[in-house]
Amino acid sequence: MLVKMIPELGHFALIIAVLMAAVQAVMPLAGATTRRPLWMAYGHPMAVGQFLFIALAYVCLTTSYLLDDFSVTNVANNSNSLLPWYYKMSAVWGNHEGSVLLWSFMLAGWGYAASRFSCGLPRDMVARVQGVMGLVSLGFLLFILLTSNPFERLLPNVPHDGADLNPLLQDIGLIVHPPMLYMGYVGFSVVFAFAIAALLGGRLDAAWTRWARPWSNIAWAFLTVGIALGSWWAYYELGWGGWWFWDPVENASLLPWLTGTALIHSLAVTEKRGSFKSWTVLLAIFTFSLSLLGTFLVRSGVLTSVHAFANDPSRGLFILVLLAVTVTLSLLVFALRAPRVSHQVSFSWLSRDALLLINNIVLVIMTVTILLGTLYPLILDSLNLGKISVGPPYFNALFVPLTVVMCIFMGLGPMARWKSMEARELKRKLWLAGAAALVLGVLLPFIYTGEWNLWASLGIVTALWIVLPMGRDLIDKTRHARSRLAGLRKLSLAYWGMVLGHMGIAVTIVGVAVVSNYASERTVRMAPGTTVEVAGYQFTMTELTSRRGANFLADTAVLEVQNIDSARGFLMRPEKRFYLATGMPMTQVALRPGLFRDLYVAMGEDLNDGSWAMRIQYKPFVRWLWLGGLLMALGGVLAIVDKRYRRVKVTNKASAATPSQSEPQEATL
């Protein structure tokens, strides 16, 4: 009996959660304004309760999937009794309704964490943070209940079996990618809440930046991993070997990442030097707003096809209203409460302040460019100026030079001092690294392939320009320690976080530069016995078989691959699958990953004479793309483990109001 009621239980839990969110949205904010501790005290229990009840709803939906309850529309549309249990669990977020529930679940989780770990902060600040989190959560829960209820029943005509999960989604990628991405999107809500709370309470001091920094770092790390995983998943799952297409949906995730990157740097300036306060708050608002805008663009059907929207116009409208209310209100609060004139902190051309300012300017230009490119076709269409497309050539043409400009200054950043420094000192620290980067960057492509390539060289010079000065800096910093190792240990985790983050960028740049310029591909006719050579590897088809999988038929080719130089061999098995339930053909790529090269084989068409068209690709350094992403994320996490963030207690207002000057010089990010 109880089992049959699980969907209703979940639905009921959602309704309770919505009520709690409403209380959380109103009471703490009202309490903070009227200085009533009792009202403010509602915040934490509501955050806890909301989290628990959404968790319950989430568990209920997952249970319905696991128990194959096809009377639930959502389960019937997206699952199947034959689906393995782990795909049933991930199928929950492989569709619109379930993914919004996951989103809300994470939002409540972040809300709970923000509430739990803020106990050392001033009470009114905590209350305001809780209130803002409550408001955002309320919006999303209402969105679920009013337009996207995952617990809707298909009664009385319950189907015998479900329509099955899209075969593309039956993959580890679906299990790991969306949760990471959502954690990133949603995580910026905490920073956003801190920003709004600081504006409302007039506490726009160095203290709030110190509270906000760990949250923005961790959200940024999640988003970085999410984007990297998405790129990796598309690379091996879609079968053409691309890893970034500048699709609106990809851009939607890149936008908050860019402003988020600007934010974590701007927070550093504000915390250390007390400058750019308003700007930092604005970035926090922008970052979360862009997360919401991305959600709107992806789910409203404005950019994809209208069929989605025609099915349910209320969804797009609801998110738009949510977006408009959140962003307009927060910008209004900003306009009214932003500090009148921030006290002028001085710095000169050669200073870390100036370099971080440049970083922010370039990142903002990148953000606007991508936003412009994504929305421009819509703008033209609305003005009746015709339909155009803006794709990879446009974005690459603008993004590459912007990245190079950014990296030039990025190499200087870690060396520079706050406030000002002598050009002489900077030159002394950098000339060797710069020269080495230039020489190596020009030479390496020669050594690698025997011919020179401008773009590959540019990428390598840029990457080395980021890495080598940091190496030099490490040597300088450990020079006076008892031993190098002891010196390295003495450096703060925040410093290491910065080093890793910047290394990550360099690694990704190397990956992009090499794979874009040295990848090779051949499409060939292959039958058993055929041998072809691609990029120093010999591919021999030894066998061509058919097999029957759990829910598909497959043609499988077996290729024996030999490295011509080392004569080491291995087997690769690309497949062409035909899924029985959906009638969808799928290319199952055979992949031989390696740190320095991937081999990538996809089966094309059956040429009906016993041979097949096969596409063989050689992708050097492609792993570095994602490896760089992981390094960046690791850097972000490392920076928050730094012990100074555990001293959250603010002893008195005076210490909070002045930027901390006593920090060790190297603890920067």
Partner 1 sequence: MSRRLLLLLLPVSFLLVALFLYQRLQHDPAQRDSALMAREFPAFEATTLRDEQQTVDQSLLKGEVTLVNVWGEWCPACKQEMPQLLELADQGIRMVGVNYRDTREKGMSFLNQYGDPFEMNIFDPEGSLGFDLGVYGAPETFLVDAEGIIRYHHKGYISPQDVSERILPEVAKWR
Partner 2 sequence: MALIRIVTAAILLALTLSAAAGGIELREFDDPVLAQRYHDLTASMRCPLCENQAIGDSDSPISGDMRERVYQMLQDGRSDSEIVSHMVERFGDYILYNPRLEKRTYLLWGLPVGLGILGFVLLMLIIRTRRKSSAKALSAEERARLDALIQRRRSS
Of 464 and 591, nearer to partner 2 (C-beta) is 591
Q: Which of residues 91-130 bind partner 2 (CB under 8 A)?
A: 94-96
Q: CA–CA separation, 74 vs 77, rounded Å? A: 5
Rounded least distance, CB 652 to partner 2, Å: 28
Nearer to partner 2, 307 or 649 (CB): 307
User: What angle do helix axes 493-518 and 392-412 make, rounded to 10 degrees?
Assistant: 140
> What are the φ/ψ torsions at residue 609 (nearest 5 degrees)?
-135, 30
Q: Is residue 299 part of the contact set for partner 2 (CB under 8 A)?
A: yes
> Taking CB under 8 A as the criterion, which residues in 172-201 touch partner 2?
173-174, 177-178
From first CA to last CA, the distance across the chain in angstroms is: 55
Query: What is d(CA 236, CA 508) in angstroms, rounded to the nearest whole number?
Result: 18
Q: Which does 378 bind (CB under 5 to 8 A by kind): partner 2, partner 1, none?
A: partner 1
Residue 3 CA to residue 9 CA, distance in Å, equals: 10
Residue 320 binding result from partner 2, partner 1, none, given CB thresholds of 5 to 8 Å by partner type: partner 1
Residue 391 makes contact with partner 2 by CB under 8 A: yes
Number of residues lying near partner 2 (CB under 8 A) = 92
Point out which residues pair with 576 in neighbouring strands: 555, 587
Provide the Cα torsion 442, 446, 452, 455; round to 10°: -60
Is residue 584 near partner 2 by the rule CB under 8 A? yes
Q: Tell me whether residue 183 or residue 255 sits nearer to partner 1 (CB atom).
A: 255
- Site for partner 2 contains 440 (CB under 8 A): no
606 binds partner 2 (CB under 8 A): no
Which residue from 305, 483, 652, 662 is in contact with partner 2, where contact means CB under 8 A? 305
The alpha carbon torsion through 193, 197, 199, 203 (nearest 10 deg) reads -130
Interface with partner 2, residue 387, by CB under 8 A: yes
Interface pick for partner 2 out of 339, 549, 585, 593 (rule CB under 8 A): 585
Cα 617–Cα 503–Cα 173 angle in degrees, nearest 5? 45
Residue 623 interacts, among partner 2, partner 1, none and using kind-specific CB cut-offs from 5 to 8 Å, with: none
Of 163 and 378, nearer to partner 1 (C-beta) is 378
DSSP annotation of 162? -
Nearer to partner 1, 266 or 517 (CB): 266
Helix, strand, coil distribution of the chain in percent, nearest 5: 65, 10, 25
Residues that bind partner 1 (CB under 8 A): 289, 296, 300-307, 309-310, 313, 316-317, 320, 323-324, 327-329, 331-332, 334-336, 338, 340, 378-379, 381-382, 387
- Token pair for 287: 């970052």
Q: Contacting partner 2 (CB under 8 A), which of 451, 565, 605, 609?
A: 605
Binding partner 2 (rule: CB under 8 A), the pick from 68, 164, 205, 237 is: 237
Q: Which among partner 2, partner 1, none contacts residue 388 (Cβ within 5 to 8 A by kind)?
A: partner 2
Nearer to partner 1, 350 or 375 (CB): 375
How many other CB atoms are found less than 10 A from the CB of residue 363? 22
The residue (of 96 and 203) whose beta carbon lies closer to partner 2 is 96
Stretch that binds partner 2, among 193-201, 362-370, 431-439, 448-456 (CB under 8 A): 362-370
User: For residues 516 and 460, what is the distance between their CA atoms, to the nearest angstrom?
Assistant: 12
Q: How many Å is the Cα radius of gyration of the chain?
A: 27
Closest distance to partner 2 from the beta carbon of 184 (Å): 13
CB 331 within 8 A of CB 346: no
164: its two tokens = 């099955």
CA–CA distance, 165 with 173 (Å, rounded to integer): 14
- Binding of partner 2 at residue 250 (CB under 8 A)? yes
Best CA proximity match to 254, nearest among 290, 289, 303: 290
| Residue of 243, 177, 229, 226 whose CA lies nearest to 514 | 243
Q: If binding is defined by CB under 8 A, does position 486 make contact with partner 2?
A: no
CA–CA separation, 209 vs 213, rounded Å? 6
We find the least distance from the C-beta atom of residue 584 to partner 1, in angstroms, to be: 18
Residue 563 to residue 594: CA distance in whole angstroms: 13
Residue type, 70: F
Footprint (CB under 8 A) of partner 2, residues 489-528: 523-525
Q: How many CB atoms lie within 10 A of CB 39?
A: 18
- Residue 279 CB, shortest distance to partner 2, in Å, is 10
Residues 149-168 that bind partner 2 (CB under 8 A): 166, 168
Spatial distance between the Cα atoms of 121 and 130, rounded to a whole number of angstroms: 12
Residue from 333, 587, 641, 663 in contact with partner 2 (CB under 8 A): 587
Site for partner 2 in 34-63 (CB under 8 A): none
Question: Which three-class secondary structure state does DSSP give residue 349?
Answer: coil
Binding at 96: pick from partner 2, partner 1, none (beta carbon under 5-8 Å per type): partner 2
Closest approach, Cβ 274 to partner 1, in A, equals: 19
Cβ at position 659, least distance to partner 1 in Å: 23
**Which of 342, 420, 516, 551 contacts partner 2 by CB under 8 A?**
420
